[in-house]
Structure 1
Amino acid sequence: MNQPAGLVTNIQTNRKRWFIASIVFLVIAVAGLFWAKWNPYFHKAFTAATTHAIGSSTISGNDAAAPDPSWGAAWHFSLGYFKSIWQAFIVGILLASLVQVLVPRDWIQRVLGKTSYGSTVLAGVSALPGMMCTCCSAPLVVGLRRQQSSVAAAVAFWFGNTALNPAVLIFMFFVLGWQFTLLRLVVGVILVFGLSYVVGKMVRHKEDAVEVVAQTTAASNGKDTKDDPKESLFIRWLKSLSTMSMAIIPAYIISVFVLGAFRAWLFPTLGGTAWSDSLLAVLVFAVVGTLFVIPTAGEIPIVQTFMEFGLGVGPAAALIITLPVISLPSALMVRKALTWRTLSFLGIGVAMLGVIAGLVGMAFMS
């Protein structure tokens, strides 16, 4: 049965419009990532190769321990942290809002909305050029879920940015050596292509996706910001950006401030003590590393500084795995895109893999 000429024309017009919009999204993504990530990291790689360092620890600076809890400690940590990530965060939240208005939802559903392992792998691989920290990539997780990607694909994209960041692996090789780099690579593959797929099997995909759409459109008076033909593209983008910003930024800032204030309690000074390379230290740092927040590659100077003051290889290995992958602030940011049950499972999984990495470090790297 032949379709009416007008309908065929409309379909062709829509396809052309979405094709052009997707190209615009791609151009913005490339430009933003070059500005915030690719160009700075290209130069930082040479710094890591020549000096075997990429900066000071965000936890303790060049000292063995973080400052005591205070407003000043919170302020200085937050200031340094946001100074490190502001460019990437702008790019992350910009792309997260644009993916909702420039990329066709049915395309996201076909490519990343399936529960198959192929969607998980594709999402994890597509995250590698992003090289964002867990908080800067969190808005994109929300955006992908808003477009009805599967849970597994969203998590694989989230973890792919952090656990398998190619720039961080290069920095780590020059600063901490090949053993830490290999350990990070192996565990990173498990996190991105294993843990994410497992957690995807735990949720009821269709019902969960519908719930996410309902939650994220509530601030827009129940309207889908992308499907209203009466509104211009710019207005829909502004709505998407404002809704997402109001939902994630306040909790993000407050949680970073609190963690910065009490980081001395979270990271006890163990260097040179009997506990510096013990199983207890591995357990403590695996849990703390899962909760704490750092900028991209921040785990490298943190571990380098702690080890210079006597921290053992086991706890250091646990931090290398857990610090970058997930954090309390990033979990708060994606709380409406991933259920607390899912986030709890991910947190426990990351901590457990951190413990395993610590045991491997104690056994084979000491």
Structure 2
Amino acid sequence: MQSLYSKAVRGIYAVPKQTWFGIGITLFLWWIFMHYTRWPAVQAKSEILTVLATGAPNTFTEIVSRDGWPYWLSWIPTGINMTDNNAIGMAFAFLIGGAITSLVLPQGLIRRLLNSKGTKGSTYGGLLGAPLMMCSACSVPVALGWKERGANPETTLGVVMGAALLNIMGLTTIFVLFPGPAAWGRIVASILLVVVLTPLVVKLAVYYRNSWKLISSSDYLEKKADSANLQSCTVLDGGQDNLGWTEAGLLALKNWWNSSVEIAYRLFLPMTGAMFLAAIIRLMLPPGVVETYLGSGFFAIIVVSAFGTMIAIPTLFEIPLVLGFLFIGMGLGPATALIVTAPSVSIVSYFMLKKDVGHAAPLLLMVATFLMGIATGLTVEYLMTYYG
């Protein structure tokens, strides 16, 4: 017992001072994000259900009114409003991602925590992503922060998928509001996408060598250590740990701010552009089409799965979105396909991830999401038809 206690004490003292400051920054940001933005936003989402039931194309808070805009240009104010509604989440994603990226961790600890491969790696990433309560797009900066710490591809992508699909609040709400087959379909599909299909995607991407830029943690760290571009906060060196608490705190703040600005510089424009693209796609499905073409059947499920895979939506917005479509005539099979695909990776995630992980992995994840949506939708529709 004394030996274990001594090891624990030595482990605590071995953590660099900058790391303690980084952890404090991360927890502080997380508390502000949850207490002042996320929980109020979750509670407010129920208020838009009646608006969705009318088939309105936009249920976001509007800073630019769509009144007076021609229909074919209404994607402009819609995109502005979507960007405004996502601005807080994006900002916190950049700041939290910067805090994670700037953490000073011993090289051995990085390897032990993040050098998990296959199913273990994706599961570990999924569990890291689950409490984020961020959409798949907003979680990308956080996932890339782990990647900068040496995370394997499976862990990195698992964070993105876990944040989108394993959100406890979302899964609980789905079970409360949706029929049993749809709710169980969502949770089973989420687990399969995170635990099974994400590591499979990584294997396929590595096998075909399609611009895959992520390599194993050990190779990554060795390569970074030999590089002239090695950041001072990537791997611990003895000089940094000899800093006083004041110097370490100031350096931690500087590294955090620089990392956050760098992430925002790379990702803000792609995220904003993708919001406008999502606004265009949403306006392509007026309410009158839903009951006629998306009520049920294989074709409807394919169309809805493709639509859900492409669009980017805020955290938990898939719930009122799908309920709204149900109110205007969508069948439960297509609705289940949408509740699986809409929160998962999208065209937004692809553009944000492709620079760091290559084209293959995000594209394959989109394909996997699309196929999982079809499979889940068809299964639920079959169950409702023959056992409903």
TM-score above 0.5, yes or no: yes
Output the CA distance in 2 between the equivalents of 1:57 and 1:165.
24
Judge which range, 268-277 or 325-334, deviates more. Answer: 268-277
User: What aligned pairs does 1:200-349 form with structure 2 within 5 A after superposition?
Assistant: 200-204=202-206, 208-209=214-215, 222-224=229-231, 226-227=233-234, 232-265=251-284, 269-273=288-292, 275-349=294-368
* 8 Å CA contact retained: 2:78, 2:276: no
1:55 alignment partner AA: I
Output the CA distance in 2 between the equivalents of 1:198 and 1:77.
34
Output the CA distance in 2 between the equivalents of 1:346 and 1:202.
11
Report how far residue 179 of structure 1 moved. 3.0
* 8 Å CA contact retained: 1:266, 1:288: no
2:55 alignment partner AA: D
Match of 2:144 among 142, 161, 182: 142
Report how far residue 329 of structure 1 moved. 1.4
SS across alignment from 1:129: helix
1:188 alignment partner AA: S
Match of 1:173 among 160, 175, 178: 175
Report how far residue 204 of structure 1 moved. 4.4
SS across alignment from 1:136: coil
1:198 matched residue in structure 2: 200
Report how far residue 268 of structure 1 moved. 7.2
Output the CA distance in 2 between the equivalents of 1:16 and 1:245.
33
Output the CA distance in 2 between the equivalents of 1:177 and 1:40.
29
2:101 matched residue in structure 1: 100
1:122 matched residue in structure 2: 124
Output the CA distance in 1 between the equivalents of 2:268 and 2:106.
25
2:74 alignment partner AA: G
Change (3 A) 1:126 1:258: closer
Judge which range, 98-107 or 17-26, deviates more. Answer: 17-26
What TM-score do the two structures reach when normalised by structure 2?
A: 0.77
1:89 alignment partner AA: M
Change (3 A) 1:181 1:259: same
Asked whether 1:354 is paired with 2:373, we answer yes
Asked whether 1:28 is paired with 2:25, we answer yes
Output the CA distance in 1 between the equivalents of 2:309 and 2:30.
26
1:251 alignment partner AA: P
SS across alignment from 2:265: helix
Equivalences, count? 345
Report how far residue 291 of structure 1 moved. 0.9
Output the CA distance in 2 between the equivalents of 1:224 and 1:133.
29
* 8 Å CA contact retained: 1:55, 1:301: yes
1:111 matched residue in structure 2: 113
Report how far residue 97 of structure 1 moved. 1.1
Change (3 A) 1:72 1:116: closer
Report how far residue 210 of structure 1 moved. 7.9
* 8 Å CA contact retained: 2:143, 2:157: yes
2:267 alignment partner AA: I
For residues 47-101 of structure 1, the C-alpha deviation after alignment (integer angstroms, 9 at most, x for no partner) is 78xxxx452499x68316579854433323431x334433332222112111122
Identical counterparts, % of pairs: 20
Report how far residue 308 of structure 1 moved. 0.8
1:62 matched residue in structure 2: 54
Change (3 A) 1:254 1:56: farther
* 8 Å CA contact retained: 1:41, 1:167: no
Mark the runs of 5 or more structure 1 residues left unpaired by the alignment.
Answer: 1-11
1:76 matched residue in structure 2: 78
2:245 matched residue in structure 1: none
What TM-score do the two structures reach when normalised by structure 1?
A: 0.81
2:247 matched residue in structure 1: none
Output the CA distance in 2 between the equivalents of 1:29 and 1:37.
12
User: What aligned pairs does 1:9-24 form with structure 2 within 5 A after superposition?
Assistant: 16=13, 18-24=15-21
Report how far residue 108 of structure 1 moved. 3.0
Aligned-residue CA RMSD (Å)? 3.5
